[in-house]
Amino acid sequence: MPKGKKLFLLTTSLFAVLMLLLAGCGGNNTASSSSNQTINYAPGDEPQTLDPAKATGLPDATIINAAFEGLTRYDKSGNPSPGIATSWDISPDKLTYTFHLRSDAKWSNGDPVTAQNFVDGWLRALDPATASEYAYQLYYIKGAEAYNEKKGDASGVAVKAVDDHTLQVQLTAPAPQFLGLTSFQTLMPIDGQVVKAHADWAASATNYVGDGPFKMVSWVPHQEIKMVKNPYYWDAANVKLDNLNFITVEDDNTQYTMFKNGQLNFEYNVPLAQVAQLKAGNNPDFKIMPEAATYFYRFNVTKKPLNDPRVRQALALAINREQIVTDVTKAQQTPAFAFVPPGFNDANGSDFRQNGGDYFKEDVAQAQKLLAEAGYPGGKGFPALSILYNSGANHQEVAEAIQAMWQKNLNINVTLHNEEWQAYLNDMSKLNYDVARAGWMPDYMYPMTFMDMFVTGGGNNETGWSNPDYDALIQKAKTSDAGTPAAFADMHQAEKILMTQMPITPIYFYTQPVLIKPELKDVIIPPFGVQAEFRWAYVGK
Amino acid sequence: MERDEAAIAMEADAQRKVIDQTLFQPLTVPEFAGEDTGRPAVGYWSDVWRRLRKHKLAMTGLALIAVITVMAVVGPYLSGHGYAQQNLSLTNVRPNASYWFGTDNLGRDLFTRVWDGGRISLLIGLLTSVICLAIGVFYGGISGFAGGRVDNVMMRLLEVLYSIPFMLYVLLFMVTLGPGLKTILIALGITYWMDMARVVRGQVLSLKEQEYVLAARGLGAGTWRILTRHLIPNTMGPIIVTATLLVPQAIFTEAFLSFLGLGVSAPMASWGVLASNGIDSLSVYPWQLFFPALFISLTMLAFNFLGDGLRDALDPRLRK
Amino acid sequence: MVKYLLTRLLSMVAALWVIITLTFFMMHIIPGGPFATERKLPPEILANVEAHYHLNEPVWKQYADYLGSLVHGDLGPSYKYFGRTVNGIIRDGFPVSATLGALALSFALLVGLATGIVSALRHNGWQDYLAMVLSTFGFSVPNFIVAGLLMYVFAYWLGWLPAAMWGTPQQAVMPALALAALPTAIIARLMRSNMLEVLQQDYMRTARSKGLSERAVVWRHALRNAVTPIVTYLGPLVASVFTGSFVVETIFGIPGLGRYYVSSISDRDYTVILGVTIFYAAFLMFMNFLVDLAYVILDPRVKLVDRKEL
């Protein structure tokens, strides 16, 4: 048979065989569950790990939060409510916490949940051999930092199981954020026997045992993690969802199409191009949720002319933030005139940001005056500045808008410098930039998570800024004033210094546009910590 | 065949020693005259042009390229808007009288941006093609012609280079040379010359054995002459086709890099950048994708028609 | 012949070693690392984590250790996805990419070859022009646009096909088409170009004057010779299609190997970068070897070894 014909037949049959093969190995389709109490949710990324001791990302935290339960769990009013712990006592000096655990809590394999499980979990997170990046979240506990840094022993860590249902912890200093942290993934308990028997228990669904409302049944990386109601959960009677599926497709335009198609009924990341028209169209699926995070620009204060605070203030005052959130980012963000976003409780229970207020006001005339005072009247002689940003989201558009604003309002020359994520992180930490875009999310719900970034030499400072008054205030808030209302006053004062000296300028407070079908009820989308809480969720009509 | 040749050579050698050399006088004929063709030199290139003119599609392609190039040069000045000029109250506007292609999400005129992008895309495509042509033909030509061990080594080396993840050296360059146009050109050039070298080598391997090489060899032509006079003009066809196809490849890869955020820096934008931005808003503002994609397609069409015409025009066997 | 195979094998191993070394050291020159995060870790924790993955050891030692485990077939753990190994990632991802690639490839070959042949046989006819224009659209649109358009039309607008993910034939249609668009066009044009050249050849005239039917002339003589340069293109084509297109797999949510190729670099997941590169390189070399063998079969004038060595 002539070669050409052979080739033809070969490829035709190959094609046919492949199609048959595919038809045969169907399966693993999108969540095809018979029950209508099903949520198909796209967290936006494949989790890096589902090991509670090692997880750091938001998708990871969200999924772990469904499969596990810690001492507490954040409820819809944003407060830590009883989880495995029914109640807790805090000693008058605020250093000793005693948690009383419920007696009917069970793991998804039937084992009972005991206080020892918590000790095991916390010690494992602190164990240097585990190499957990979030071990420092436990440093509030006496002896924890020493153990993690190999300067102490596990027995020196002040957490112990008094009996099967009582857990006692001792802190190094009062820390109001500690109670909230007990709902955090790093502080989850583990089923000691399972973890000891299988080193890779967290890598697949086979041995993945959790004490939370849902139980993992399958995990196909970059496709889907399927969960069903955990029958052994202590409150299983009140968990209304039958199926909870995390669809880990990564492209957000694709997720959007899947949402429109009905393959998803909840999507965390809405493509930016769709946001404006979804909002304008009053689409019932579209919701904009507040987020306790800040979008800001860093100034490299070691470089002239950014070493002059007047120059930095001028740059900050010459930005029209309202225009950026209305015309560029378009997701109802709040223009920011301070660093700590709304959502944090202040000493008297009201909002920290509300009490602190705004620390500056946009004023082009004032900006020009400051620039002239600094020696650059009308922008003359001012060197070209470059704005560093990482590719993605709309950082480019924001940078372009600010570039145009500075050019128009201050008559200075600005260039844009776009880098890939790792290169961007590297340059920023090496102070290899003039102005750099940045964002910050809280680790816990206490303003210190924002305020202690800019201490002298702090790892997250990355501006070269150093102010002894600021350092002193932060130190005081963490030690002598810890646990008292004075700590909040210290933080307010520190923020004032930060916003006067302006090593950074805040631009806006983030929001999170999401798409969620209205029939999904009681899904909590908190401003931090996890993307969504499904414990109380159900599908209504 | 080998051994017979050797035997004949030996015999001839032996015979030569018997006949008296002084009876023979060498002809004073220019060294390579024997392999000149008898026809008057029409001029290879004028013949090519003549044949090209007859190819309708190719001439359409050429005309399109000319028009697009002219627009790329002149277009940005026609609309009265700057390519970086933002108007935040007029974002995502449909094409109308003052914004002929509409505006983008920062209120910038798309007509100006498309033509400015055209400059960049065309530059990238053409320069890359030229670079790859030069390197690839040289490498592939020598490799194929030399054959044997040299070919083996050169091809193994090629494979090694080919299998290094493309993005790695793009990133490496971005870091050492700084991002931007120059780095993209270098990265693209270094990636695509290998395809060219492979094609050339393949052609040379087949052609090497063909008759006219033997003939030229028999007439005493040296290696260099064989390369330039015979091999290269006869391999031209696939090379020109490959070079023409390289232009869109380069433009695409640049679009892919832009898709990953590694393209030219804002506010400059190539067609690739504009297209990948446009894809995101396809369901809401389709004109933002339509125009850059349209011009990418037209440019590719143009280059391909031209390439086809050139292929026909350059085929020496089609000489009339 | 055996000698040829042995030397070929040896050179492949040598080439692989060069690739491993080159990639390994290049990776470490680029800034950043797998544990460079936006939220800076306390230095002791960072040091501990890096020690856990041996990243604090001198580069030479890391390299030697890597080669050592490579000999045992162990490509190491992933630095980004804790709990997964590179071997596991390849084992899970490659069959998916391969299936997708095979689909795209067969489509490209079938449609491309057929189009090229028809085009050449009806040179300058309307079929020729139509085919050329269609094939030009095939590669004048970057594949992420093709993918986006396909998804918009068939999933978003018409709702005929599922938007993403992998497993059923319906889910394979759009990604395979998006992946096949460019190769189909290139094969069609190359085939046409080659066929046209071949059809002008003298031996075609000879075959016709021998009294052979036009069909026999085309199938038996023209095709075989026209296909040869396509075989050159096949090597790199198969390799790049099979290991997946990052764009197509990301857009359609397909859990294949292609997406790892690029994401591992931005994640600085060193072991995955190396593992996928080595795998890809070995595959490519094998493909090229097959291509060279195919060349010999198809074109009797080509010798693999230079005559002097016979």
SS (H, E, C) chain C: CHHHHHHHHHHHHHHHHHHHHHHHHHHHHCCCCCCCCCCCCCHHHHHHHHHHCCCCCCHHHHHHHHHHHHHCCCCCECCCCCCCEHHHHHHHHHHHHHHHHHHHHHHHHHHHHHHHHHHHHCCCCHHHHHHHHHHHHHHHCCHHHHHHHHHHHHHHHCCCCCCCCCCCHHHHHHHHHHHHHHHHHHHHHHHHHHHHHHHHCHHHHHHHHCCCCHHHHHHHHHHHHHHHHHHHHHHHHHHHHHCCCHHHHHHCCCCCCHHHHHHHHHHCCHHHHHHHHHHHHHHHHHHHHHHHHHHHHHCCCCCCCCHHHC
String of DSSP letters for B257-304: HHHTT-SSPTT---HHHHHHHHHHTTTT-THHHHHHHHHHHHHHHHHH
pTM of the entire structure?
Answer: 0.82
Residue ranges making up the domain that contains A417: 289-511
Which pLDDT does position C308 carry in this prediction? Answer: 35
Q: Any idea which of B235-244, C96-105, C130-139 has the lowest mean pLDDT?
A: B235-244
Mutation pick from B87, B92, B106, B177 vs chain A, by most beta carbons of A within 10 Å, is: B106
- Residue C174's DSSP bridge partners are none
* Enclosing H/E stretch for B23: none
- Residue A415's DSSP bridge partners are A386
Is A352 among the domain residues? Answer: yes
Is A281 among the domain residues? Answer: no
What is the distance between the alpha carbons of residues B294 and B271, in angstroms, rounded to a whole number? Answer: 10
Mutation pick from B163, B192, B246 vs chain C, by most beta carbons of C within 10 Å, is: B163
Please count the structural domains in chain A.
2
Which pLDDT does position B260 carry in this prediction? Answer: 66
Q: Once rounded to an integer, what is the mean pLDDT over residues A213-229?
A: 95
Angle at A219 between CA A214 and CA A222, to 5 degrees: 125
Contact flag A273-B91 (C-beta cutoff 8 Å)? no
Give the chain B residue nearest C278 (alpha carbons).
B163
Interfacial C residues in 182-241 facing B (CB < 8 Å): 186, 189-190, 193, 196-197, 200, 228-229, 232-233, 235-236
* C31 and chain B in contact, CB less than 8 A: yes
In contact, A508 and A353? CB cutoff 8 Å: no
How far off is chain C from A276, nearest CA to CA, in Å?
Answer: 19
Which pLDDT does position B2 carry in this prediction? Answer: 44
CA C309 to chain centre: 34
A303 and A164 housed in the same domain: no
pLDDT digits (tens, 9 = 90+) for A359-385: 999 999 999 999 999 999 998 999 999
B262 vs C86, higher pLDDT: C86
Query: Which of B163, B209, B272 faces C19 most closely, judged by CB atoms?
Result: B163
Contact flag C81-A48 (C-beta cutoff 8 Å)? yes
How far off is chain A from B83, nearest CA to CA, in Å?
Answer: 12
Domains along the sequence of chain B with CATH: 47-76+107-318 (1.10.3720.10)
Interfacial B residues in 213-242 facing C (CB < 8 Å): 237-238, 241
Which pLDDT does position C303 carry in this prediction? Answer: 57
* B54 and chain C in contact, CB less than 8 A: no
Is A391 among the domain residues? Answer: yes
Q: Once rounded to an integer, what is the mean pLDDT over residues A12-25?
A: 56
What is the distance between the alpha carbons of residues B75 and B69, in angstroms, rounded to a whole number? Answer: 9
- What separation in angstroms does the CA of A532 have from each of A28, A73, A512? 24, 12, 11
Instruction: List chain C residues with CB under 8 Å of B275.
Output: 142, 145
A224 and A297 housed in the same domain: no
Which pLDDT does position B320 carry in this prediction? Answer: 46
Contact flag B266-A420 (C-beta cutoff 8 Å)? no
A367 and A500 housed in the same domain: yes
A475 and A364 housed in the same domain: yes
A444: phi then psi, degrees, rounded to nearest 5: -160, 165
Query: Which of C80, C168, C219 faces A48 most closely, judged by CB atoms?
Result: C80
- What separation in angstroms does the CA of C88 have from each of A29, A43, B118, B259, C95? 22, 23, 44, 29, 12
A191 and A317 housed in the same domain: no
Give the DSSP letter of residue A23.
H
pLDDT at A525 over 50: yes
Question: Which residues are CB-neighbours of C186 under 8 A, at least 6 positions away?
Answer: B245, C112, C139, C233, C237
Q: Once rounded to an integer, what is the mean pLDDT over residues C270-283?
A: 82
* A20 and chain C in contact, CB less than 8 A: no
- Residue at a domain's end among A186, A221, A243: A243
- Please name the amino acid found at residue C293: L
Is A131 among the domain residues? Answer: yes
- What separation in angstroms does the CA of C156 have from each of A523, C151, C252? 26, 6, 13
Which pLDDT does position C244 carry in this prediction? Answer: 46
Strands A80-82 and A72-74: antiparallel
CB pairs under 8 A between A and B: 65
Instruction: Convert C108-145 to b/e letters by CB count within 10 Å (16 or more is b).
Output: bbbbbbbbbbbbbbeeeeeebeebbeebbebbbbbbbb
Name the band, by pLDDT with cuts 50, 70 and 90, for residue A14.
low
Name the band, by pLDDT with cuts 50, 70 and 90, for residue C307.
very low
Name the band, by pLDDT with cuts 50, 70 and 90, for residue A25.
very low
Query: Which of B2, B160, B297 faces C141 most closely, judged by CB atoms?
Result: B297
Which pLDDT does position C41 carry in this prediction? Answer: 83
CATH of the domain at A340: 3.10.105.10
Instruction: List chain A residues with CB under 8 Å of C268.
Output: 422
Q: Once rounded to an integer, what is the mean pLDDT over residues C232-247?
A: 68
Query: Which of A276, A418, A420 faces B266 most closely, judged by CB atoms?
Result: A418
- Please name the amino acid found at residue A212: G
A316 and A414 housed in the same domain: yes
Is A517 among the domain residues? Answer: no
- Please name the amino acid found at residue A315: L
Give the chain B residue nearest C262 (alpha carbons).
B167
CA trace torsion C26, C29, C33, C38 (10° rounding): -130
A307 and A198 housed in the same domain: no
Mutation pick from C17, C136, C230, C251 vs chain B, by most beta carbons of B within 10 Å, is: C136
Highest mean pLDDT among A414-418, B258-262, C25-29: A414-418
* C11 and chain A in contact, CB less than 8 A: no
Instruction: List chain A residues with CB under 8 Å of C246.
Output: none
How far off is chain B from C113, nearest CA to CA, in Å?
Answer: 17
Closest CA to B110 of B300, B290, B297, B302: B290
Give the chain A residue nearest B167 (alpha carbons).
A420
CATH of the domain at A179: 3.90.76.10
Mutation pick from B169, B265, B287, B288 vs chain A, by most beta carbons of A within 10 Å, is: B265
Give the chain A residue nearest C255 (alpha carbons).
A222
Q: Any idea which of A141-150, A165-174, A303-312, B198-207 has the lowest mean pLDDT?
A: B198-207
Strands A96-101 and A166-170: antiparallel
Q: What percent of chain A has pLDDT over 70?
A: 94
A193 and A105 housed in the same domain: yes
Residue indicated by tokens 């145009």: A404
Report residue A304 as tokens.
């002239």
Which pLDDT does position B40 carry in this prediction? Answer: 45
* A51 and chain C in contact, CB less than 8 A: yes
Contact flag B171-C129 (C-beta cutoff 8 Å)? no
A199 and A342 housed in the same domain: no
**Mean pLDDT for all residues in chain A:** 90
- Residue at a domain's end among A219, A243, A267: A243
Closest CA to B57 of A110, A511, C129, C147: C129
pLDDT at B165 over 80: no
Interfacial A residues in 434-473 facing C (CB < 8 Å): 438-439, 443, 459-460, 462
Name the band, by pLDDT with cuts 50, 70 and 90, for residue B189.
confident
Is the sign of the CA dihedral B193, B194, B199, B200 positive or negative?
A: positive
Residue indicated by tokens 């941006």: B113
A90 and A196 housed in the same domain: yes
Mutation pick from C140, C230, C299 vs chain B, by most beta carbons of B within 10 Å, is: C140
Contact flag C31-B175 (C-beta cutoff 8 Å)? yes
Rg (CA), chain A: 26
Q: Once rounded to an integer, what is the mean pLDDT over residues C244-270?
A: 80
Q: Once rounded to an integer, what is the mean pLDDT over residues B287-304?
A: 87
Strand ranges inside A379-536, DSSP E: 385-390, 414-419, 435-440, 504-516, 520-521
* Enclosing H/E stretch for A74: strand A72-74
Which pLDDT does position A68 carry in this prediction? Answer: 97
How far off is chain B from C167, nearest CA to CA, in Å?
Answer: 26
In contact, A530 and A65? CB cutoff 8 Å: yes
Question: Which residues are CB-neighbours of A422 under 8 A, at least 6 positions away?
Answer: C30, C31, C32, C33, C36, C266, C268
Query: Which of C30, C40, C169 faces A460 most closely, judged by CB atoms?
Result: C40
pLDDT at A317 over 90: yes
Angle between helices B148-163 and B181-208 (to 10 degrees): 150
Report residue A161 as tokens.
């199981």
Strands A96-101 and A85-90: antiparallel
Three-state secondary-structure class, residue A274: helix
Is A26 among the domain residues? Answer: no
**Mean pLDDT for all residues in chain B:** 76
Q: Once rounded to an integer, what is the mean pLDDT over residues B126-154?
A: 86
In contact, C165 and C174? CB cutoff 8 Å: no
Q: What percent of chain A has pLDDT over 90?
A: 77
Q: Once rounded to an integer, what is the mean pLDDT over residues C143-171?
A: 89
* C297 and chain B in contact, CB less than 8 A: no
Q: Any idea which of A117-121, A133-137, A343-347, B53-57 has the lowest mean pLDDT?
A: B53-57
Which pLDDT does position B253 carry in this prediction? Answer: 77
Q: Once rounded to an integer, what is the mean pLDDT over residues C113-122?
A: 86
Question: Which residues are CB-neighbours of C205 under 8 A, at least 6 positions away?
Answer: none
Is A273 among the domain residues? Answer: no
A214 and A73 housed in the same domain: yes
Contact flag C52-A131 (C-beta cutoff 8 Å)? yes
A216 and A296 housed in the same domain: no
Is the sign of the CA dihedral A297, A298, A300, A306 positive or negative?
A: positive
* C162 and chain A in contact, CB less than 8 A: yes
pLDDT at A8 over 70: no
Name the band, by pLDDT with cuts 50, 70 and 90, for residue A267.
very high
Is A412 among the domain residues? Answer: yes
- Residue C112's DSSP bridge partners are none
* C227 and chain A in contact, CB less than 8 A: yes
Q: Once rounded to an integer, what is the mean pLDDT over residues A17-32?
A: 48
Rg (CA), chain C: 24
- Residue at a domain's end among A210, A243, A276: A243
Report residue B21 as tokens.
């050399």
What is the distance between the alpha carbons of residues A329 and B281, in angstroms, rounded to a whole number? Answer: 14
Give the chain C residue nearest A421 (alpha carbons).
C266
pLDDT at B27 over 70: no
